[in-house]
Amino acid sequence: MRFGVLGPLAVPERKVRALLADLLVHAGQPVSTSRLIDDLWGDQLPANPTNTLQTRVSQLRRALAGAEPGGRELVVSQPPGYLLRVEPAEVDAGQFRELVERARAAGDPGTRAGLLADALALWRGPAYADFEDQPFARTAIDRLTEDRLAGVEEQAEARLALAEHAALVGELADLVVLHPLRQRLRAAYMRALYRSGRHSEALDTYADLRDHLAGQLGLDPGEELVALQQAILRQDPELAAPAADRPAPSPRTNLPTPLTSLIGREEAVREVRARLATGRLVTLTGPGGVGKTRLAVAVAADLPDRFPDGVALVELAALGQRPGAGEPDRPELAAELARSIAAGLRAAPAPAPAADPDPDQLVDQVRDRQALLVLDNCEHLTEPVAGLAGRLLQAAPGLRVLATSREPLEIPGEQVWEVPPLRLPDPAVVAPAELERASAVQLFVDRAAAVAPGFRLGPDNARAVASVCRRLDGLPLALELAATRVRGLGVHEVADRLGDRFRLLSAGLRGAPARQQTLQAVIDWSWGLLSEPERAVLRRLSLHADTFTLAAAEAICAGDGPGEVAAEQVPELLSRLVERSLVVRLETPDGARYRLLESVSAYGLQRLHETGEFPQLLQRHIHYYIGQSLPRPARAGG
């Protein structure tokens, strides 16, 4: 789980948010019950402070469990109080410090500036933004604020070495006003002004600092700043910008240029970039149509300058898919994969890999490369992709891999980031202004307006728009498909016809891959990767209109006949469906529950009818839940 303290904490209830902040300030160390009570309530104690604190702890555990399976166990009861079990790299402040340390160890200013930019991009606002006036957070806030300013100063110095003085003038002007006593920051600003030909302004800002120091602290500027002022006065040649013989060629990339705006993914882009800065293999997982490829391209789009040997997108969906040719054997598939990666890398500067290398040759050819590989649609090739990606990463320390897949690659060092659907509107919200805060609504309205000029969200269509977004689970591809029907049908008709969604959303998006042209095709692709037992469990689970337990899955999905799914197989099969992003696992106070996205459920029901199992499974479903609702007999005494 990831925690963010470089800005507001993402927990709704204030006291629970304060409790989490306090535990994060002391991450990995127990905080006493009395200390927590004093930090949270001060002199305004509740009637029963200990019980109230326990309630807040339970609420925090529920919030963490809802955010990620196993989150409840992160808050540990440990005398004399509670402890948050979290590693430094799981907190954005820890990621920030790691990136800064890597920047300080980097030899060249370009790498240094890039790493510091990644570090500073993690900041979403003031540290512990809601608790700046709370004594328990004060020391941590001061330390992080100082670290941030030091990072800004170090990045400014690296960028001066890259001759970026013109851009720095504007960026540093406000900062020196906010922090008038910081001499290192002022020195960078003076150099940027001088190199931009604004010599008198460089001297003026020195005088301003001297006045602030004398007036507020009774001090004079330090020796280095005085020496810089003297060098400016005599126009020392050493102050000139670094010579640039000619601009270095920009690393090439084969990333596509998106034709539509990216909506609702700003935080996701920042988070994935931060993970990619600290880890060498990041895999984006999630159901079909959730936007894994689009997010990966957005993450990689601003990174070519960080990778001297370029950024290469390798599209794997068609690999191994040769109708009528049979399944390729493992060595043949590995060789085909190596050729595809080599072709992607040829979008980067020379020396390019040989045209048709085998896996061993490819490993040798990339050893010295500093490149980012984006491996898209790995789910049908997880074993060969995992094997070759692992070898490449071991051989090439400068290589990073960003993969997209409907399931993890499961190799050492992999960081898995599950791409969530877009945010849905609250069911109680009907006001257009409130609905527009949900990113799912923003996307649908944007795409509908593109095909139906004049379409906009208003009181007359707000309920229909919200219904479409909810029933399509906030999946971007499904919302885009639905938006294309607004011009011909209108949004109310689209909402009314979602009961037959696969027929409704069959028009297709021109130019999209075949597997993404219709909602049916999106789920067909995932279905085709399942074993027969996995398919049986998925279609039988589709009878559930709401969440269900493992016990319910075992009772309803298992059968007794030959070739049937045995009850003891169901937990493993269900776990595989979760890994493949077809079933969602939820942590609740009563334990794990599961659910299907509505479109996956509709697809499963369609398959259930095709097999003729529906009547029998419906009776099994009804029988199980009637049995669960009856009073249980008392256990016989002995």
- Mean pLDDT (whole number) for 337-348: 77
Is the pLDDT at 624 greater than 90, yes or no? Answer: yes
Give the chain's largest Cα–Cα span: 102
- Non-local CB neighbours of 477 within 8 Å, separated by 6+ positions: 288, 289, 290, 291, 516, 519, 522
pLDDT digits (tens, 9 = 90+) for 74-85: 999 999 999 999
Instruction: Output the pLDDT for position 332.
Output: 79
Q: Is the pLDDT of residue 268 over 80?
A: yes
Q: How far apart are CA 347 and CA 349, in angstroms?
A: 7
Q: Which has the closest alpha carbon to 416: 542, 326, 284?
A: 284
Same CATH fold, 266-418 and 165-241? no
The CA distances from residue 299 to 210, 317, 372, 403, in Å, are 43, 20, 11, 11
| Beta strands 372-376 and 591-595, pairing class | unpaired
Second-level CATH architecture of 1-162? Orthogonal Bundle (1.10)
What digits encode the pLDDT tens for the residues 197-209?
A: 999 999 999 999 9
- Is 86 a residue whose pLDDT tops 80? yes
pLDDT in tens, 473-494: 999 999 999 999 999 999 999 9
Confidence of residue 349 (pLDDT cuts 50, 70, 90): very low
Contact criterion met (CB below 8 Å) for 82 and 75: yes
Which numeric CATH code is attached to 266-418?
3.40.50.300
Q: Give the per-residue pLDDT at 361.
A: 86
Mean pLDDT for the chain overall: 89
State the pLDDT at residue 631. 65
Grouping H, G, I as helix, E, B as strand and the rest as coil, residue 32 is strand
Task: List the domain boundaries for the chain.
Answer: 1-162, 165-241, 266-418, 432-520, 530-629
Coil/strand/helix, residue 281: strand
Give percent of the chain with pLDDT exceeding 90.
65
For the 530-629 domain, the top CATH level (class) is mainly alpha
Task: Reply yes or no on whether the pLDDT at 369 is more than 80.
Answer: yes
Q: Taking each helix axis from N to C terminus, what angle separates 135-161 and 14-25, rounded to the nearest 10 degrees?
A: 70
pLDDT of residue 204: 96
Is residue 635 scored above 50 in pLDDT? no
Residue 323: pLDDT above 50?
no
Q: How many CB atoms lie within 10 A of CB 43?
A: 5
HSE-CB at 619 with a 13 A cutoff on CA atoms is 3
CB 253 within 8 A of CB 310: yes
pLDDT(636) > 50: no
* Whole-model pTM over 0.85: no
Please compute the mean of the pLDDT values over residues 589-593 and round it to a whole number. Answer: 84
Report how far apart the first and last C-alpha atoms of the chain are (Å, whole number): 48
At 325, the pLDDT band (50, 70, 90 cuts) reads: very low
Q: Return the pLDDT at 438.
A: 95
Q: Specify the higher pLDDT residue, 562 or 234.
A: 234
The SS3 assignment for 593 reads: strand
Helix (H, G, I), strand (E, B) or coil at 77: strand
List of residues 6+ apart from 239 with CB closer than 8 A: 191, 194, 195, 231, 232
Residue 594's beta-bridge partner residues?
548, 585
Give me 233's structure tokens: 């006065």
> Residue 575 — pLDDT band, cuts 50, 70, 90?
very high
Spatial distance between the Cα atoms of 465 and 461, rounded to a whole number of angstroms = 6
**For residues 596 and 521, is the Cβ–Cβ distance under 8 A?**
no
Provide the residue type at 390 as one letter: G
Q: What are phi and psi of 284, to 5 degrees?
A: -90, 120
The pLDDT-based confidence of 183 (bands split at 50, 70, 90) is very high
**pLDDT tens digits, residue range 124-172?**
889 999 899 999 999 999 999 999 999 999 999 999 998 889 889 988 9
pLDDT of residue 326: 47
For residue 514 the two structure tokens come to 């075949």
* Rounded distance between C-alpha atoms, residue 470 and residue 376, angstroms: 28
Question: What residues are paired with 84 via a beta bridge?
Answer: 75
Q: Which amino acid is at 424?
A: L
Q: Which of 28-32, 286-290, 319-323, 529-533 has the weakest average pLDDT?
A: 319-323
- Fold for 165-241, please state it: 1.25.40
Other residues' Cβ atoms within 10 Å of the Cβ of residue 243:
6
Residue 636: C-alpha distances to residues 333, 445, 632, 633 (Å): 61, 61, 12, 9
**What pLDDT, on the 0 to 100 scale, is given for residue 341?**
86
